[in-house]
Structures are given as structure tokens and as C-alpha cells.
A and B are shown apart, each in its own frame.
Chain A
């Protein structure tokens, strides 16, 4: 069983890589700072470590999909991230792709489940 978990760790890492990007982008129509995004995603069932999310946000900003602004009015300064115009466009396209993948995967898995049921 522990062997299976070893595989799972690696595979989940690969699987999460793309989904976290979509997850993060999907929550940034309104400005959020890094840690609030970690919490929101967690509440909605997506576990992501800050050590992964923070560098990701920075990378997305560098690519132009996000815009950022330091808010210094609160008790401590926070960097807020928000979808840029291109980011919105990219997210829309990405969601279409994602839905298609999810649907196909669903179909694949169900089909296989049916086969198993026959045996």
C-alpha cells in the first residue's frame, strides 16, 4: 500500500500543476492577496501550499495574466493580485478547454467502470 502512496504523491503533483493555475486565475476577478487566495481555495476544496501559490502568482504576473498592487492602508502592506485583460481572455479559453477535458475524462472513467462491472 505504501508503494501505491509513493506513486500517488508524484502523480498528484503532476496533476495539480495545471489545475492550480486554473484555480488561482478563476478566483481573481476580484483583487486578492496571496494568503486570502490560499484560504479561499482551501474553503472550496483545493489544497495549495503558499510556497507553491506565491511563486505561481508572481510568474503569472510576469507573463502578463495578472496585475498586482501593493495595498499599504491596512495594518500590514499586502500585495493584491487581479486578472489583467489578457488574463481574463486566457481564463475564458482555458475554462472551455478544461471543461472539455473534464467531460472526456469523466466519460473515459465511467466507461472503464462499466467494463469492470461486467466481470
Chain B
């Protein structure tokens, strides 16, 4: 009878391809068995069929019982991480967009209303859906391809009470908000530099409006500067993730952070000393814009600073590394 076909189809179309035929055959047999029991020797009427199908229930519910196991996009094993990443991504994008809005307003204060409206509109139509969408999609894919392996991994690892982490000393503990803030700042810096590196310099205002920027960086070398920035901020993000992962200051964490620092600083030094990354026309442009005059005392001071910029950058970086290292060790030791 056609209605039986429709019912069976309705159930099987909701099942994975591989099971469809088998379940359909079995279901057809079941319906016939149920009909047979119901009518005994008389003819099967449409009403009988309807009663039997009603007894079996809504195809969606029956199909759900057949599918059994999984009815979630992101499982409990990944959920915590999902929420964490989502939080970081949301805060970062909101921070970036707010920063861009602020810059737009500074550069062109007359259009503040336009900027504000487009900021709000893009917030709801692009930013939130994009961040939610991509983060969720990423995790859903991870969930799909891991197929319960996470759970197994957790079980197989074995567990004993002695492997429980010690309750962290308050002085050594890293508050979650700290690395999250760090990551957000690094993301902000990366995006700001990638999309508006032309604003990285001295801003010249004339009559309340921005009339030009004297860049700090050599414009011909933006690509290598970009690499530099990505290494620097990227390694910063790695560091913050390590903090998030270890949750407290340990020698291991400090060692990892040191390795990350040394590698990134090595690369930065190579880039800074190997290329002329600072704007070679900086001094001339300052004069052009009338900021200083050649031969004045100010000129001498600034040109001296400018010429020694590479040297000071190196000093700054090395001290930054040392400071990071010492601060880490101090925090580890404090608890003992």
C-alpha cells in the first residue's frame, strides 16, 4: 500500500545512506507483521494500516531512535574549549572594530554619525554572525571528524587521584582574564597593522583634520615589516595560550616562554639588521611638514634618536626578554 511506502520512506530518508535499505526492509516486514496480527484472516483495510502506523509513531521520532547515539554539534569534550575560543574571538573582533571606529573618527570627525551607524550595523550583520559561524563551524568539524575519539582518549589515559593537579598557590596562579586580554591585544595589534599600517607614524593635523602621516617604517618594505609583526604578535599569542594552558607559573612554562621569546627575537633582529626597515626619508619629511627646521637643536636631537633607532630597538628587545624571564622566575619562586 502506498501509505506504507510513504511512511518507510519518511523514516529511512532521515537515516545514513548505508543503513537506509536495511532499515526500510526491516520496517516493511514489521508493518506487515503488525498488520497480520491485527486483521488475522480478514482483508486489510486502510484504517488498519493507519492504526499500525500511528502505533509506530512519528517517522521523525522513529528515525531518531534508529540513529541513536549522537544528537549534538559540539560535544561536552570540546564545549569548554569552544566557549573559551568564542569568547576570545568575540572580544578581539569587537575590540578591533571599536579601534577602527575610533581611528576613523579621529581622522575624520565630521563623519562620526556615519561611522557609528555602519559600526553598529556591521556589528549585527557581519561581526557577530561571522565570529559565531566560523568558530562553531570549526568546532563542529573537529567534533565530526574526531567521532568520539576524544572521549576514548580521556578514558584510555587512565586516571588516578595522585595525578590530580595541585591546588595552585594564589601567587602563582594565572587568572584566565590575563591571557585572554593579552590575546585580544595581540590580535588587535596584528589587525591594526595589517589593515592600517599607513597610520603608524607621526600624525600631522592641520585645522583639526588629519593632513598627513609621516610613517616610521620604510614603505617599500611593508611586506617584511608585516612578517616581523606577525612573528612578534604571533609568538605573543602563543605565549598567552601557554599561560592559559598551564594556568599557573611553573618552570616548564617559563622555559617555554623563554624559547618562544628567543626564537622570535632572533628572527626580529635578523629582519631589523638585515633590511632598512625604518623610513629613510623620515627626517626630510619632518622638515617638509614644517615640524622642525634643519640645523636647529631639536633637529639634532631627533636625528640622533632616529639614527640610533635600530640600536635602541635591539636593546629594548633584549631587556624585554630578560624582564619577561626574570618576572616569570620570580613568580615561580614566590610560592616556594
Q: Could you list 22 examples of A-B contacts with CB < 8 Å?
A: A33-B29, A34-B33, A35-B29, A39-B37, A50-B30, A50-B34, A51-B56, A51-B57, A51-B61, A51-B65, A54-B26, A54-B27, A55-B62, A55-B66, A58-B19, A58-B66, A59-B68, A70-B25, A77-B25, A78-B29, A79-B26, A79-B29
A55 & B29 in contact (Cβ 8 Å cutoff) = no
CB contact between B34 and one of A33, A35, A58, A59 (< 8 Å): that residue: A35
Size category of the binding interface on chain B: 20 to 34
B34 surroundings in chain A (CB, below 8 A): 35, 50
A52 at the interface (CB under 8 A from B): yes
Taking beta carbons and an 8 Å cutoff, which residues of B are in contact with A? 19, 22-23, 25-27, 29-30, 32-34, 37, 55-57, 61-62, 65-66, 68
CB contact between B30 and one of A34, A58, A59 (< 8 Å): that residue: A34
Which of A51, A70, A77 has most chain B Cβ within 10 Å? A51
B65 surroundings in chain A (CB, below 8 A): 51-52, 55
Q: What number of residue pairs across chains A and B have CB atoms under 8 A from each other?
A: 43
Decide yes or no: A34 and B68 within 8 Å by CB, A50-B34, A50-B56, A51-B57 being known contacts: no
Q: Residues 48-71 of chain A: 1 if any B CB is under 8 Å from the residue's CB, otherwise 0?
A: 011110110011000000000010
A10 at the interface (CB under 8 A from B): no
A76 at the interface (CB under 8 A from B): yes
Closest to B69 in A: A59
Decide yes or no: A76 and B29 within 8 Å by CB, A51-B62, A55-B65 being known contacts: yes
CB contact between B26 and one of A34, A49, A52 (< 8 Å): that residue: A34
Q: Which 8 A-B pairs have the closest CB atoms?
A: A35-B33, A55-B65, A55-B66, A51-B62, A79-B26, A51-B56, A78-B29, A51-B57
Question: What 12 additional pairs, Cβ within 8 angstroms, besides A34-B33, A54-B30?
Answer: A35-B29, A35-B34, A39-B37, A50-B30, A51-B61, A52-B65, A54-B26, A55-B65, A55-B66, A78-B29, A79-B22, A79-B29
Chain A, 20-54, CB within 8 A of any chain B CB: 33-35, 39, 49-52, 54
Task: Report how far A52 CA is from B32 CA in the complex, Å.
Answer: 17
Task: Report how far A59 CA is from B37 CA in the complex, Å.
Answer: 26
Closest to A56 in B: B65
Decide yes or no: A55 and B68 within 8 Å by CB, A35-B33, A50-B56, A76-B32 being known contacts: yes
A76 surroundings in chain B (CB, below 8 A): 29, 32
Task: Report how far A57 CA is from B17 CA in the complex, Å.
Answer: 19
Task: Report how far A79 CA is from B56 CA in the complex, Å.
Answer: 18
Closest to A78 in B: B29
Task: Report how far A39 CA is from B27 CA in the complex, Å.
Answer: 16
Q: How far is the CB of A49 from chain B (nearest CB, A)?
A: 8
Which of B25, B29, B34 has most chain A Cβ within 10 Å? B29
Task: Report how far A78 CA is from B26 CA in the complex, Å.
Answer: 7
Task: Report how far A32 CA is from B22 CA in the complex, Å.
Answer: 17
B29 & A77 in contact (Cβ 8 Å cutoff) = yes
Q: How far is the CB of A76 from chain B (nearest CB, A)?
A: 6
B25 & A79 in contact (Cβ 8 Å cutoff) = yes
